[in-house]
Amino acid sequence: MAERSHEPGQSDTGAAPNSRAETAAHLRHLLETEGEAIHTQTSVSNYRRAQAYDETDNLDALRTEARAIKEDAIDRLPELIETVRDAVEANGGTVYLADDAADANAYVADVVEDRAGTDGSEAATGSEESGAGDGDRNRPSVVKSKSMTTEEIDLNDALEADGIDVTETDLGEWVLQVADDTPSHIVGPAMHLTREEIADLFVEQFDPDVEFDTPEALTKFARDHLGEHIQDADVGITGANFVAADSGTIALVTNEGNARKCAVTPDTHVAIAGVEKLIPSVRDLEPFVDLIAKSATGQPLSQYVTMLSPPTNSPTVDFESPDEPLGGDDGTAGANRDREFHLVLLDNGRTDMREDDQLRETLYCIRCGACSNSCANFQSVGGHGFGGETYSGGIATGWEAGVHGQDSAAEFNDLCTGCTRCVDACPVKIDIPWINTVVRDRVNRDDDPEAYDFLVDGLTPDDEPDGFDLGKRFFGNIATVTKLGSATAPVSNWLGDTELVRSLLERTLGIDRRRDLPTFERRSLVDWFAARGGERESRRRAAAAGPEDRHSELDREVVLYPDIYTNYVDTDRGKAAVRTLEALGVPVSVPDLPESGRAPLSQGMVATADRQASRVYAALAEDLDAGRDVVVIEPSDLAAFQREYERFLPERSFERLRDNSYEICEFVFGLLENGADPDALSTGDGDSSGDGDRDGDGNRSIAYHSHCQQRTLDLEEPTTTLLERCGYAPRTSSVECCGMAGSFGYKREYYEVSMDVGDRLAREFDHGGTDLVVASGTSCGDQLEALLERDVPHPIEVLAPGSTV
């Protein structure tokens, strides 16, 4: 097997990364050793989930219902704990509320040793280990099904330290136990290993007489081996996907039968669950059982849905007489065993999370792993890069900060780029990017001062305290940097290309010298528009564009939002938007407006983003009062207006801006739908678009990549439809993310991850036989231009009157 890093958040040398270079080396190691397997597995899960979601007619209603149940359960948590205690005890079981990991582990160890009738520490004396789960048979023995909660408290290590043999019975978890490895995914713990690597591991550890040439052969070997341990175990330990408080019913949702066997075969069953797994009643299980398989693996339903109200007296196989029918001749065999059941409910920080308005949503998580699968960065490095002490993927930041502390979350938090695709994937609609942003903000405020922070203390135009990462502060104030770069162009562009400056930027700010820097325009879009005659000239051009009756039908006026990139770097796309709107009879204004707050928000600078939201709304309030539409070119800024501002603005203010802001291609498509003439635009039918590849109908082929935020706002389709209306044959990318993600792709520690993600997109477009590639987002265009070594304009630049693209 390839050398692996067994501890999430550690470098390949085994030490926790404490510098950008070490983090980069750790992630590069994972890209090389685990990336391909992770990407293959997550891609399959994503495809299946998307298909399952598409085939579910009432999906949104199910997700809404599931979230409402979780919200209610967390609200009523103290009450539900008492309810489930009464129900389990009435059924003959025991409920133990564990404060923390040590408390839970000590309780479980006492149960095992008491049930086995031995003192584990004495039994351990002189024992000989012979592989995972193959210790001295005189020692107490436990079989376990997969449980992230037991991973969280390091139960296996604690029990083994007390002289208790522990055998994982989930195939993936057992593979990791044999390999002395750690899970890389909440649902698929061994996702980072290939079948060939697992086969080699089994041969090395067990020297079997069978060939592991098929998955079935591996599975049969594991089933036979683990079956013996389940038969002989003193105690079976499971987690619980859900616990119905009213009846004490434990729900286990799995694709292997091992969890059910662990629960009912040994005479003692211990279920360990976080307190957040409680739901009010069995009736509340329905939406979760429907959703969890779809979101986790894309299955219509999991293979095993087991509901137990233990201690169960259900008859089980008599291993001494396996051919005897269940229940025996009198139907009572197995029904009178002296069975014990213990439900261990774990707090371990969850009560504090419940009281934390920003982390509370984490407790709604049903551990499906959909956020991991949907994340482009996770697809490259897996949970050993995008994870902490226990949990991995997008939701891991909330869990790690809540149960292990902010330091654990800080190790990987910056791998979340806030694209929000995980929100669409999450079956309970958790705003995972916001949780990541909040934790990032808290980490920023707890960081020690950087060596170079004296350069900016008291001078930065933000609302953040002194002393956090200088690179984050730089990118969070990129509007000021960009404005300065434009004011000093072309000198700023020349300096940015010198080796001395690139070395300084890399050393102080962590900007990778391999990444091309933006080229600043000396004249901003706002200045260009003013010099052109401003709003008065735009009205004249719009009025001259066509018949008066057409204008009266449209009757729109637009404020074009000049995002920092459009205003100072790629002014051509801003000019193209102005010309397009005027050609369709819509007058435009391009005022000098504040930065949206998207940049500081991406760095976890919540206070600054809050201030910027208020400034933007104040600057636009008069236009909104006048009924003008706000049109945005950069999708991430539109996402701020339509999503993040809900957390910063009064409800009515947020709704006004949300309901009256549009993405440029969405708005143009709306104009065409309401009577505007598409002939006013450049088309792909050969009249004005130049030479290029054509489809069978003579329409010009075009490859289109939409920004992540554009997809989550459901705005990809308006652009493709608009291109079709204008005589183009668009082909969209199946790869959802370009990997650049604003500042993420510039950072030294993440450069390789960014390029790995982007290369998937570039390969798809490069091999597609299309000469024209367009992208909606700033980052997307920059990344594709670097990878494809060609110009990648915004779609509006292709459609604008007089376009030569």
Q: Which residues of 458-489 are buried (b: 16+ CB within 10 A; e: fewer)?
A: eebebebeebbbbbbbbbbbbbbbbbebbeeb
Contact assessment for residue 560 and residue 530, using Cβ atoms and an 8 Å cutoff:
no
C-alpha to C-alpha distances, 742 to 515, 635, 754, nearest whole angstrom: 12, 12, 10
pLDDT higher for 333 or 707? Answer: 707
DSSP state letters, 196-243: HHHHHHHHHHH--SS---SHHHHHHHHHHHHHHHHHH-SEEEE--SEE
Name the nearest CA neighbour of 405 among 417, 426, 390.
390
The answer on pLDDT for 323 being more than 90 is: no
CB 418: neighbour CB atoms within 10 A? 25
Query: In this predicted model, which residue has the larger pLDDT, 12 or 300?
Result: 300
The pLDDT of residue 321:
61
Of residues 584 and 690, the one with the higher pLDDT is 584
**What would the mean pLDDT of 611-638 be, rounded to a whole number?**
97
pLDDT at 441 over 80: yes
| SS3 category, 667 | helix
For residue 803, the model assigns a pLDDT of 83
> Which of 206-210, 533-537, 704-708, 721-725 has the least mean pLDDT?
206-210
Residue 208 scores a pLDDT above 90: no
| pLDDT-above-70 percentage for the chain | 86
Q: Which residues contact 606 (CB under 8 A, 6 or more apart)?
A: 437, 438, 441, 600
State the DSSP code for 165. Answer: E
Average pLDDT over residues 177-193: 94
What is the rounded CA–CA span in Å between residue 507 and residue 513?
10
Instruction: Kindly give, in sequence order, each residue whose CB lies less than 8 Å from that of residue 217, ignoring residues fewer than 6 positions away.
Output: 210, 211
> pLDDT-based confidence at 337, cuts 50/70/90?
low
Phi, psi of 164 (to 5 degrees): -110, 130
> Which has more confidence, 339 or 422?
422
| Integer Cα distance of 458 and 465 in angstroms | 9
Count Cβ atoms below 10 Å from residue 370 Cβ, excluding itself.
Answer: 31
Write down the pLDDT at residue 15. Answer: 43
Question: What is the sign of the dihedral through the CA atoms of 255, 256, 261 and 262?
Answer: negative
Q: φ and ψ at 274, to 5 degrees?
A: -65, 150
- What is the pLDDT of the chain when averaged over all its residues? 88
pLDDT at 257: 82
DSSP annotation of 724 reads H
Mean pLDDT of 164-190: 94
Side chain identity at residue 267, one-letter code: D
Tell me: pLDDT of 608 over 90: yes
Beta strand pairing call for 242-244 and 165-168: unpaired
Q: Which helix (H) or strand (E) holds 271?
A: strand 268-274
Residue 454: what pLDDT?
39
Mean pLDDT, range 556-562, rounded to an integer: 96
Q: Which residue pairs, CB below 8 angstroms and at least 24 apart, start in 41-45? A: 41/185, 41/188, 41/191, 42/191, 42/372, 42/373, 42/378, 42/379, 43/379, 44/298, 45/188, 45/296, 45/297, 45/298, 45/369, 45/370, 45/373
Residue 128 is predicted with a pLDDT of: 41
> Residue 129: exposed, middle, or buried by beta-carbon count in 10 A (0-12, 13-18, 19+)?
exposed
C-alpha–C-alpha distance, residues 630 and 556, integer Å: 11
Strands 558-561 and 588-589: parallel
Q: What is the C-alpha to C-alpha distance for residues 754 and 658, in angstroms, rounded to an integer?
A: 31
352-387 pLDDT, tens per residue?
A: 999 999 999 999 999 999 999 999 999 999 999 999
Exposed/middle/buried for residue 529 (C-beta within 10 Å: 0-12, 13-18, 19+):
buried
Assign 3-class secondary structure to 298-329: CCCCCCEEEEECCCCCCCCCCCCCCCCCCCCC
Q: Supply the pLDDT for residue 500.
A: 96
Q: How far apart are CA 31 and CA 207, in angstroms?
A: 30
The pLDDT of residue 656: 97
Distance CA 535, CA 525 (A): 13
- Distance of CA 739 to CAs 380, 517, 566, 756, 780, Å? 10, 16, 20, 8, 8
Of the pLDDT bands very low, low, confident and very high (cuts 50, 70, 90), residue 222 is: confident
Tokens 């087991």 sit on residue: 306
Looking at the predicted structure, is the pLDDT value of residue 516 above 80? yes
Task: Give the whole-angstrom CA distance, residue 20 versus residue 471.
Answer: 11
257-292 in b/e form (b: 16+ CB < 10 A) is ebbbbbbbbbbbbbbbbbbbbbbbebebbebbbbbb
Among 270, 272, 267, 271, which Cα is nearest to 233's? 267
Cβ proximity of 109 and 120 under 8 Å: yes
Condensed to tens digits (0 to 9), the pLDDT of residues 13-54 reads 344 456 889 999 999 999 999 999 999 999 999 999 999 999
Q: Please state whether the predicted TM-score (pTM) of the whole model is above 0.85.
A: yes
* pLDDT band, residue 687 (cuts 50/70/90): very low
Q: What is the model's pLDDT at position 332?
A: 45
Q: What is the pLDDT of residue 792?
A: 95
- Confidence band, pLDDT 50/70/90 cuts, at residue 330: very low
pLDDT at 804 exceeding the cut of 60 = yes
Whole-number pLDDT of residue 335: 46
pLDDT of residue 182: 94
pLDDT tens digits, 693-742: 766 667 888 999 999 999 999 999 999 999 999 999 999 988 889 999 99
For residues 318-343, average pLDDT: 60
In this predicted structure, the answer to whether residue 461 has a pLDDT above a threshold of 70 is: no
**757: Cα within 13 Å, side-chain hemisphere:** 27
Give residue 115's pLDDT band: very low, low, confident or very high (50, 70, 90).
confident
For residue 700, what are the β-bridge partners?
694, 728
Q: What is the pLDDT of residue 258?
A: 87
- Residues 120-136 have a mean pLDDT of 46
CB neighbours of residue 319 within 10 Å? 12
Report CA torsion sign: 439, 442, 446, 451.
Answer: positive
The span from the CA of 676 to the CA of 460, in Å, is 46
User: pLDDT exceeding 90 applies to what percent of the chain?
Assistant: 73
At 417 the pLDDT is 94
Cα–Cα dist 106/124, whole Å? 17
What DSSP string describes 526-590? Answer: HHHHHHTTHHHHHHHHHHTTS-HHHHHHH---EEEE--HHHHHT-HHHHHHHHHHHHHTT--EE-
Instruction: Name the nearest CA neighbour of 222 among 259, 172, 165, 184.
Output: 172
Pairing type for strands 249-254 and 304-308 reads antiparallel
pLDDT at 686: 52
Dihedral angle computed from the Cα positions of residues 700, 703, 709 and 712, in that order, rounded to the nearest 10 degrees: 80
| Residue range 107-118: mean pLDDT, rounded | 88
Cα gap 82→256, rounded to integer Å: 32
Question: Which of 299, 295, 298, 274 minimizes the C-alpha distance to 423?
Answer: 295
Q: What is the mean pLDDT of residues 749-759?
A: 96
Residue 142, SS3 per DSSP: strand
Q: Rounded to whole angstroms, how far apart are CA atoms 698 and 714? A: 29
